[in-house]
Amino acid sequence: MVQKINTHTKYTVLMSVYFKENPNWLRTSIDSMLSQTVKPSEFVLVKDGEITPELENVVDHFVQDNPSLFHIIELEKNIGLGPALKIGIENCHNEYIARMDSDDYSVPTRIEQQLSIFAKHPNISLVGSNVYEFKDSPDHIVSKVILPENHEAITAFAKRRCPFRHPSLLYKKTAVLEAGNYREYYLCEDYDLYTRMIQNGTKCYNIQEPLTYMRIDENFYRRRGGITYLKSILRFKKEQMDTGFFSRIDFIKSVAPHIVVCLMPNALRDWTYRKILRGGKNQ
């Protein structure tokens, strides 16, 4: 049962967009956050460098319809997701911040359900959820990602793999800032933040219902392979070992599968993620 909450609870939606985004996907993503049963009181959208005229038209449309809601931050050049979100966090005016990616979709009750967890458990500062992964349309689900639920299970899971899906999160700004905010870390900026938050004492929870639909295109698994990503994940996990979050055994058990998966052909990596690593059966 959803905990009764104050439907006037203020929160900010935080999104970053850059020139390669699809305008139609951006429109669907923003619409899904504006259609929440608990409405946002602020929408911080970071333009990570110059974006296309088509994307500008989508942003302008929403700003014109909601002039007091949107706070647009324009960066002169593309600096990457981690640094862009760091600036975005610093410009959010509410304690509760809902992350959202510019090509995904949230169910209408997502924020309501997440705020109910905060209302019931005031010690929790980060709430995610299970997610569906889809291609082309949210009706075309390719996999269900099942994640650990309580804080202890999340912490144990984090020593092997990433315990959250970034666009599903609602977190407290103070907890993010106290952990050092986002950093530049190629395809690891979210995982890096979570481990630092856990180390800093942040209590976490994952709702065991898919509240966010994540888009999987032909490049999704390709980006999670190759030498560049492998170097980034190895550097990240070594740093976590050096800080004491990973033991040496954790490090070995965690990086060995990454080495194998990163060096796989793209088609095999796609199959491995969907069939083995997602934690749930294909839908």
pLDDT tens string 108-145: 999 999 999 999 999 999 999 999 999 989 999 999 99
C-alpha 236: how far from chain center: 17
- Residues 236-253 pLDDT 10s: 999 999 999 999 999 999
Find, among 75, 9, 76, the residue nearest to 86 by Cα.
Answer: 75
Task: Give pLDDT, residue 266.
Answer: 73
* pLDDT band for position 67 (cuts 50, 70, 90): very high
Distance CA 277, CA 256 (A): 14
Percent of the chain with pLDDT over 90: 81
Cβ-based burial of 57 (10 A; exposed 0-12, middle 13-18, buried ≥19):
exposed
Residue 57 scores a pLDDT above 90? yes
Mean pLDDT of 23-36: 98
Distance CA 121, CA 221 (A): 36
Find, among 2, 3, 28, the residue nearest to 167 by Cα.
Answer: 28
CATH number belonging to the domain at 11-277, selected among 3.90.1150.10, 3.90.550.10, 3.40.1800.10, 3.30.1300.10: 3.90.550.10
- C-beta contacts of 231-237 below 8 A and 24+ residues apart: 232/185, 232/186, 232/187, 232/188, 233/187, 233/188, 233/258, 233/262, 234/258, 236/185, 236/188, 236/191, 236/192
C-alpha 105: how far from chain center: 12
Distance CA 240, CA 2 (A): 36
- Residues 174-210 pLDDT 10s: 999 999 999 999 999 999 999 999 999 999 999 999 9
Nearby residues of 241 by Cβ (< 8 Å), 6 or more positions away: 247, 248, 250, 251
User: HSE on the CB side for 183, CA within 13 Å?
Assistant: 13
Find, among 102, 93, 94, the residue nearest to 16 by Cα.
Answer: 102
C-alpha 158: how far from chain center: 15
Do 64 and 22 touch, CB atoms closer than 8 A?
A: no
Residue 2 scores a pLDDT above 50? no
Residue 5 scores a pLDDT above 60? no
Task: Give pLDDT, residue 258.
Answer: 82
Task: Give pLDDT, residue 283.
Answer: 33
Domain edges within the chain: 11-277
